[in-house]
Amino acid sequence: MSYHLLLIPVLYILAMLGVGVYYSDEASSDEGFLVADRRIGSVVGGGALAVTFVSTSSLLGLVSAGYRIGIGFHVFAAVGSVLAFVFAMFFVAPQIRSLDVSTLPEYFEVRFGERSKRLSALIVALIMVIYLVAQVRGGALVAEYILDISYVKGVLLAGIVFTLYTLLGGMYAITVTSFIQACLMILSVTLVAVAGISEIGGAGAFLQQVSSQANFYFTSTGHAGLGYAMSFGVLMFLAILSSPHVIFRYFASKDVETARSTASMATLFTGVFYFVVAFVPVLVIFLVTNVATPDQAFLELSQVLFQNSPFVLGLIFASILAAAMSTSDAMLMNAATSVVYDLGDPWFDDGQDRTNYVRAVTLLIGIVVVALTISPPGLILAIVILALSLFVGAFFAPLMLGLWVEDRSDEAAVAGMLCGVLAVAVTHPTTPLVKVSEDPYAAIIGVTVSTVAFLVVNQFANPAPKGSEQPAP
Amino acid sequence: MVSQSTAQPSVTSHRRAAYSFLLLGVILYVVPVLFKQQILDGAAQFGTLAALFGMLFLSIAVAVYTVSREGGE
């Protein structure tokens, strides 16, 4: 592998570590580590928020699936994601920011009580570790391909880099690095799409080729069923509104209005990203003669288009590493803060600074994830859909109803979380106790069961004391 | 600095255009699914592209709306 090709990926890795070191002082207090002293603006915060949900599985997975089955599911996922951020802009981000909490379990404590805080912290910590294994595996496979190293070395490299900058710079570092990663990813997919369409002969020739050679591509179902496409879109919508590693970005906004603007900016980043990526898989069909592994289709297309431009190719490789790290850092931080700040409460005095403890736990979880990833279970996309579905089942109903229901009880939140998680676990195809045909359906079943459980228990339980502050309208 | 009174009408029209386009895309996207797709393959392709462009315009309009609002305040 040439020096020119490696230069930008290596510079990228060093830059990410540099950001962690740069912000290590500012992140040396609880407020600094957890919520960046609530100083994040809307543009940087919006880019970071969008890219938190766009990972290797989105970039490589969308291109791979689009190449195989067409764009139908992608359009549903894109519209679902954009509408989720528009919904959050009006009904979630300002309200949740106005409560001045620092973690999702703390939100449940303020709105419901101690038991739902503990249960949510446990769910966050456990599911995040499973989810992280999939993310690090994706990053390691990319590092293996790009840097021409063994899989184990790829796991170590991906794991060490994001663990180090997360534990050093906390929320400051993961926001700035995620914003850089968002810009890098949009730049690289745009370069590939524009160069590919030019290679074919412009937009007219491109559309003509789609009609003649791949007329399944821009249709609503493609080679997959409409049910899969629609439920995937619904899963994206629900997951953006209930995943802890997405929601916690709002806590770091400067104020309530900035939280609203952050969600708005995230729609822009998400919309542009999904729009551009939609054109890439069909370019693979036209320009790559033999796709050895569909998951590497994006890499293979980039090599065809930029074989004489090693710096551009290096930039694209760096953007794929960025996709892997942009989600992993937020997940790692959520897992560590849930353990130290929410589950670990009884072991600390009130007001005691826990920054060094959370850094130690971040390192420990990073090591556990690296160890598990060396021989991971299951396929990446399957693990990601399972983890997202569990989050949706556990948190969507209690989170939304916690914002809008007047008399709410701790017991109702606990029942909603437990029943939602169990419903997803039972109906998901990985544990086929109840047969459902597609992976994303489990999340929809989970939300339904969780909402019913919450509302039924809430009818009979004592209301929790109201939070000190009502959410902003 | 753009004042809110001058920014608001153009922002509203951007949003209306974006919503209309997205709605058009979704309708064109769903119609071929409800009816016989083989007859309407051309419409399905156009509908998918319209939905994609509608989503892009909507996200741009939402961001423009927010920036204009912040600028006007």
Q: How many helices (H) and strands (E) does chain A have?
A: 20, 0
Reading the block at residue A301, the tokens are 């297309």
Left (φ > 0), alpha (ψ -120 to 50) or beta: where does A435 sit? beta
8 Å CB contact of A86 and B53: no
Q: What is the mean pLDDT of residues A434-462?
A: 82
DSSP A193-245: HHHHHHHHTSHHHHHHHHHHH-TTTTSSSTTS-HHHHHHHHHHHHHHHHH-HH
Report B:24-53 residues touching A (Cβ under 8 A).
26, 29-30, 32-33, 37, 41, 44-45, 47-49, 51-53
Q: How far apart are CA A302 and CA A291, in angstroms?
A: 12
A380-404 helix and A226-242 helix, angle to the nearest 10 degrees = 60
Q: Is the pLDDT of residue B3 over 50?
A: no
The verdict on B11 touching A (C-beta cutoff 8 Å) is no
Q: Report residue B5's pLDDT band, with 50, 70 and 90 as the boundaries.
A: very low
Cβ neighbourhood burial of A226 (10 Å; 0-12, 13-18, 19+): middle
8 Å CB contact of B58 and A210: no
Q: Is the pLDDT of residue A204 over 90?
A: no
Reading the block at residue A44, the tokens are 């940087």
Q: How far apart are CA A73 and CA A55, in angstroms?
A: 17
Residue A60 contacts residue A141 (beta carbons within 8 Å): no
Q: Which residues contact A315 (CB under 8 A, 6 or more apart)?
A: A8, A184, A187, A188, A191
Reading the block at residue A430, the tokens are 């990985």
8 Å CB contact of A42 and B66: yes
User: In degrees, to the nearest 5, what angle opens at C-alpha A389 toward C-alphas A386 and A392?
Assistant: 155
- How does pLDDT run across A231-248, given as a tens digit for each residue? 888 888 999 999 998 999
Residue B6's identity, in one-letter code, is T
User: In degrees, to the nearest 5, what angle opens at C-alpha A302 toward C-alphas A300 and A308?
Assistant: 115
Q: What is the mean pLDDT of residues B32-43?
A: 53
Q: Report residue A433's pLDDT band, with 50, 70 and 90 as the boundaries.
A: low
Q: Which residues contact B31 (CB under 8 A, 6 or more apart)?
A: B40, B43, B47
Left (φ > 0), alpha (ψ -120 to 50) or beta: where does A103 sit? beta
Which pLDDT value is given to residue A13? 87
Buried b (16+ CB within 10 A) or exposed e, A174-209: bbbbbbbbbebbbebbbbbbebbbeebeeeeebeeb
Q: What is the mean pLDDT of residues A277-289?
A: 89
Q: Which segment of A285-299, A339-353, A425-439 scores lowest on mean pLDDT?
A: A425-439
**ipTM for the complex shown:** 0.77
Q: Report residue A73's pLDDT band, with 50, 70 and 90 as the boundaries.
A: confident
The verdict on A78 touching B (C-beta cutoff 8 Å) is yes
Which chain A positions have a beta carbon within 8 Å of B65's beta carbon? Answer: 264
- Mutate which of B35, B49, B52, B67 to test chain A, going by most A C-beta atoms within 10 A? B52
Q: Report residue A411's pLDDT band, with 50, 70 and 90 as the boundaries.
A: very high
Q: Is the pLDDT of residue A396 over 90?
A: yes
Which pLDDT value is given to residue A307? 86
Q: How far apart are CA A296 and CA A414, in angstroms?
A: 42
**Structure pTM?**
0.85
Count of CB pairs separated by less than 8 Å, A with B: 79
User: How many C-beta atoms surround the C-beta of residue A130 within 10 A?
Assistant: 19
Total residue length of chain A: 473
Query: What value does the mean pLDDT of chain A take?
Result: 85
8 Å CB contact of B62 and A274: no
Radius of gyration of chain B (CA): 16
Q: What are the C-alpha distances in Å from A394 to residues A117, A183, A457?
A: 12, 32, 15
- How does pLDDT run across A285-294, given as a tens digit for each residue? 889 888 877 7
Which chain A positions have a beta carbon within 8 Å of B32's beta carbon? Answer: 219-220
Which pLDDT value is given to residue A214? 74
Q: How far apart are CA A442 and CA B12, in angstroms?
A: 38
Q: Is the pLDDT of residue B19 over 70?
A: no
